Amino acid sequence: MLPSRIERLFDEAPAHYEEEDFWLFRDFKAALNRGEIRAVEPDPTTKSGWRANTWVKKGILVGFRMGAIADMSIDATKQPFFDKSTYPVRAITLADGVRIVPGGSSIRDGSYIGRGVICMPPMFVNVGAYIGEGTMIDSHALAGSCAQIGKHCHISAGAQIGGVLEPVGALPVIIEDEVLVGGNSGVYEGTVVKRRAILGTGTILNRSIPVYDLVRDAVYTATDSEPLIIPEEAIVVPGSRAVTHASGAKWGLSLQAAVIVKYRDSKTEGRVQLEDLLR
């Protein structure tokens, strides 16, 4: 089976890789491209609703180990491209139903791009990422390694969706279906944004920034065993919290925070509705 063969190749690295090893990796990468295997899978038994597929992440790391730096430049002067031979640009055809607007975008091989995805230039999707159907990745946006983005999301211009390869058991950032991530926002360190949430422009989420829920009178933070989780349909905006240390209070300092100001309602729907005409 593919998982056990990948595990073996990861744990028992040979002195020299044989042709059958490269064929195994090609099969593995093709399954990633088709979305048949994922670095992370839904798991209703966990608090976050997700679990890492460690063997898949090991397979991605094996690819880096196997590859040698190769010249893959289209034009060595105008557009030099030197990377691991195992990770060229992902091949996409008209039959895939993906829009890639010209202007310098890049999608690395070993990532899933669903039908109807729109790629606005320049954007970047790294290896192991999963981009669901009908999602827009806007200009200067990043989907990091193994980042998981659901269906019909809008990742606005300049947004950063973090990923993670190591340690293999760690969750990357997960953006569930129908989430809107505002421009210049950053979601990092395994944060899980549940379906239909909205992140306002410039919102930063990570394991160190608390999220204050004004509606439910709650504070959400990451723990040693669980990531930061943003509830379904929450509307999150940037905020701040006062520094209580004596020097901080004297200087009037504050630290970054995020604030849930409301949950989606009919008025919100009218303001954030995605236009089907774009898709």
- Amino acid letter, residue 55: W
Show me where the domains of the chain are located. Answer: 86-265
The pLDDT, as a whole number, for residue 274 is: 61
Per-residue pLDDT reduced to its tens digit, 24-54: 999 999 999 999 999 999 999 999 999 999 9
pLDDT of residue 153: 97
Query: Residue 277: pLDDT band by 50, 70, 90 thresholds?
Result: low
Q: Is the pLDDT of residue 268 over 90?
A: no
Four-residue CA torsion sign, 230, 231, 232, 237: negative
pLDDT at 275: 59
239 bridge partner residues:
257
pTM of the model: 0.94
78 has pLDDT over 80 = yes
Residue 276's pLDDT is 61
- Tell me, what's the pLDDT at 278? 62
Specify whether the CB–CB gap between 258 and 210 falls below 8 A.
yes
Question: Tokens 């593995």 map to which residue?
Answer: 28
| The residue type at 58 | K
pLDDT-based confidence at 185, cuts 50/70/90? very high
pLDDT at 266: 74
User: What digits encode the pLDDT tens for the residues 98-138?
Assistant: 999 999 899 999 999 999 999 999 999 999 999 999 999 99
pLDDT at 265: 87
pLDDT exceeds 80 at position 270: no
Give the per-residue pLDDT at 74: 86
Residue partners of 114: CB distance under 8 A and separation at least 6: 35, 98, 131, 132, 133, 134, 135, 151
Structure tokens at 43: 């798991």
Closest CA to 62 of 113, 130, 124, 110: 110
The answer for 27, left when phi > 0, alpha when psi is -120 to 50, beta otherwise, is alpha
pLDDT band at 3 (very low <50, low <70, confident <90, very high): very high
* Confidence class for position 273, pLDDT limits 50, 70, 90: low
Q: Residues 6 or more apart from 122 whose CB is under 8 A from it?
A: 103, 104, 105, 106, 139, 140
Please tell us whether the domain made up of 86-265 is placed in CATH 1.20.1050.10. no
The 10s digit of each residue's pLDDT in 149-163 is: 999 999 999 999 999
- SS3 state of residue 218: strand
pLDDT of 214 strictly over 80: yes
Q: In this predicted structure, what is the pLDDT of residue 279?
A: 60
pLDDT score recorded for residue 77: 87
Question: What's the CA gap between 42 and 176, in Å, rounded?
Answer: 10
Alpha carbon distances (Å) from 224 to 8, 13, 163, 190, 228: 30, 31, 18, 12, 10
* Separation of alpha carbons 196 and 213, rounded Å: 16
